[in-house]
Structure 1
């Protein structure tokens, strides 16, 4: 894929970019490595001041940054601005808590190991490569960059090829925030250059958010090189509604959970698993609410759902829907692309999904919801867990015993009860099964990019 800004609302190419040569990439890795040798020794207070200054710039420029995001990948202006401000919040969180999270962990009685002093100390790993997707072009990057920089690492960013302006902005805003040259660099390169970067001995770790095939590739290369990785991959998140739930609240939240970011979110609820006692009520209200959403220009405040980010992305969604329909699934609303320029797809609800349909287990990366009717809690859990993914999960119930079952038995990195899955700086974020491994955010996220060194003093 060429490195270019293509407006998904029109299909027009706005700007193209030149890919870095292999020699230029090697030079930039060298700059990063040399910078890390000095930056790793800077005190936490100095790093925090730089991160706060960068957050100040991002907040000041949030409106312009939002328009850039919307132009590159089609999210609504309101959601783009919220993303920019969320990044600033995440930066301040790590600026304020990193020293606490990475404080030495002394053994209370070192004499038990024959020492006068014994402890664990967190130290930065070095140059970290981040391979990032387009759907949250700033927030996905900041979940890695803020903790990595506060831990004393330096970062290299290989962003998705369709959001180059966002990628370059991130390098620029860190530079203007005062970070020394080489602390954070954007590499405008294609996917084929990722492997030689990962195999460069000066690159010590990698983090990837993206598809399962991309994660497998990065993990295999880093495994061969014995380098640490954090992977956040796809999700086909369940959204379970039980009879004791507040159905109106569950429906309202379900709509947001499915169409957030135009339906292009790994943690979006995708499979709506509803107890038979409330299925008809939930389905009727959910379909009505999805049908009422306004699809259109993402720069228009009246728009609820903008275009999908790429033409191929829309094609992928259409193929999954067509596969389900050919197998007997029922389209309750949507299901056909509108006759207009751009890569739009309507909010869609499909029922009567069976196990032989791809949609039963595969992730639909667009505003398409699948409805399942279940007889009881056990069947709800069975359907919820019948996927190779395990990123987020949602369950609605007022029954304490049911809630505990969902917390313990939903196979996911996250479970949200009577709400929708959201990423917060304060909470660990990540998945199980083929949704990846490792954690971002919270104290766990910053420690992923550190060596926990054991110290023993006789």
Structure 2
């Protein structure tokens, strides 16, 4: 076992399952290894839950569901405010965990912790603002009441690339709405989830609140957790963030019980640069949109669609910006780009880059894995990329920026929308009329105009087409955990 974590974190990090307010081993006694992707060394062995553990966790969530539903909104809000305070106080410890198991530069990890804390604070504030409705029916024969009830026990399946933000984005609105949870953290990054879950467990215990409100079941097999729970009619909600392929499989499994679902799935974000764009701002936004977490985010810019008249200048500036990035272990000072999450990710990125180069694209910088311990790939800019190249049509999830040119707005829009995905799009232009046309016509759930970042805890996050169903964040996020109940009085 090897770890560069602060001793205070490593010594108190839970590595078991959280079921009914108690950390325990898996029933089988099995564990799986969690790696530091920057060194390819093992950080910890974590309990490996199976079907029996999953059912135990749901049993605990079901037992706690009624007392938690009847807990006052104010007490739920106070709990979340306390979690926000302790998460903020422990921000450096949590950031160190994010960097250790996910590979992000420490500055990015700190930003993620702050982002996660924003979700917890926001939904603590929303817990006491769940609006209903009371009015006289138009016919004048009765009154109409609309109440909001918690959906019920929820399975929350989180991705590896934002191990604290995605947990916060799911758990906080669920708890605020009065739902109990079973959390399945990603196999690659379960340590941050365990640390934050312990903070929440301690606050629940200190307030004499139901112990089974939050349960955590890490596992080397997501199917071992999801299959028995989705087949159980007591589960009433599924929230999943991950690939479209897996999301579609989970939707099918959720169908027999008509389960309430939220799906934040794959993306293929276009980054449009028009002839009138401020190129300095566009390059700065491009690096921000592409290179967070080494390009391993669902909102990463995946295709750079640039007007032919400025394509060479933009590409040259972007290449210079990529050349200035510092690749290394995220805990090292000055590092701006960390590793990819695993060896398979490096191999996939190498394949799509090589295929693009074989198809006529020019590698302006990077293009290869880096020869060092861990899973590193050089920040890469490709010019002259064909619109049908795999590096353009598929979500790369790596530090690769393929540049495709267009000649007019109609072609730009056709290229931007020419994908089954529709999570986010970015556009740089000084023309307000063009910007408003893009807002109307680009097929995406989120659009950044002259911005390389759109995520905000107080705004709805989600996509259209095969990028998902439902929204997380903002007022919309808590609605996913509430059922409207109409009363004719």
Fold shared, TM-score > 0.5 on shorter chain: yes
Unaligned ranges ≥5, structure 1? none
- The 1:113–1:197 alpha-carbon spacing in structure 2 relative to 1, beyond 3 Å, is farther
User: 2:342 is matched with which residue?
Assistant: 310
- The 1:136–1:113 alpha-carbon spacing in structure 2 relative to 1, beyond 3 Å, is farther
Which of 248, 251, 259 does residue 216 from structure 1 map onto?
248
The CA distance in 2 between the partners of 1:153 and 1:113, in whole Å, is 36
CA RMSD of aligned residues (A): 1.5
The CA distance in 2 between the partners of 1:3 and 1:97, in whole Å, is 37
User: 2:190 is matched with which residue?
Assistant: 164
User: 2:223 is matched with which residue?
Assistant: 192
SS in 2 for 1:208: strand
Which of 314, 317, 321 does residue 282 from structure 1 map onto?
314
Unaligned ranges ≥5, structure 2? 1-29
SS in 1 for 2:145: strand
The CA distance in 1 between the partners of 2:243 and 2:251, in whole Å, is 12
SS in 2 for 1:319: helix
Is the CA contact 1:3–1:188 (under 8 Å) kept in the aligned structure 2? Answer: no
SS in 2 for 1:157: strand
SS in 1 for 2:404: strand
The CA distance in 1 between the partners of 2:284 and 2:398, in whole Å, is 18
The CA distance in 1 between the partners of 2:304 and 2:134, in whole Å, is 47
The CA distance in 2 between the partners of 1:164 and 1:96, in whole Å, is 28
The CA distance in 1 between the partners of 2:39 and 2:282, in whole Å, is 34
The CA distance in 1 between the partners of 2:37 and 2:233, in whole Å, is 38
- The 1:316–1:224 alpha-carbon spacing in structure 2 relative to 1, beyond 3 Å, is farther
User: 2:19 is matched with which residue?
Assistant: none
User: 2:134 is matched with which residue?
Assistant: 106
1:35 aligns with 2:64: yes
Equivalences for 1:227-242 in 2 at 5 Å?
Answer: 227-242=259-274
The CA distance in 2 between the partners of 1:330 and 1:112, in whole Å, is 70
The CA distance in 1 between the partners of 2:176 and 2:388, in whole Å, is 47
User: 1:143 is matched with which residue?
Assistant: 169
1:106, CA displacement in angstroms?
Answer: 2.5
SS in 2 for 1:307: coil
1:255 aligns with 2:287: yes
1:20, CA displacement in angstroms?
Answer: 2.3
Is the CA contact 1:268–1:421 (under 8 Å) kept in the aligned structure 2? Answer: no
Superposed CA offset, 1:342-389 (max 9, x none): 000111111222244212210010111110111011111111111111
1:442, CA displacement in angstroms?
Answer: 0.9
User: 2:95 is matched with which residue?
Assistant: 66
User: 1:181 is matched with which residue?
Assistant: 211
1:113, CA displacement in angstroms?
Answer: 6.2
SS in 2 for 1:16: strand
Is the CA contact 2:57–2:216 (under 8 Å) kept in the aligned structure 1? Answer: no
- The 1:113–1:214 alpha-carbon spacing in structure 2 relative to 1, beyond 3 Å, is farther
Q: TM-score, normalised by structure 1?
A: 0.96
User: 2:73 is matched with which residue?
Assistant: 44
1:97 aligns with 2:126: yes
SS in 1 for 2:212: coil
1:148, CA displacement in angstroms?
Answer: 0.8
User: 1:122 is matched with which residue?
Assistant: 148
1:421, CA displacement in angstroms?
Answer: 3.3
1:317, CA displacement in angstroms?
Answer: 1.2
Superposed CA offset, 1:197-245 (max 9, x none): 1111221110100011110111110112210110001111011111221
Paired positions, count: 454
Equivalences for 1:428-439 in 2 at 5 Å?
Answer: 428-439=460-471
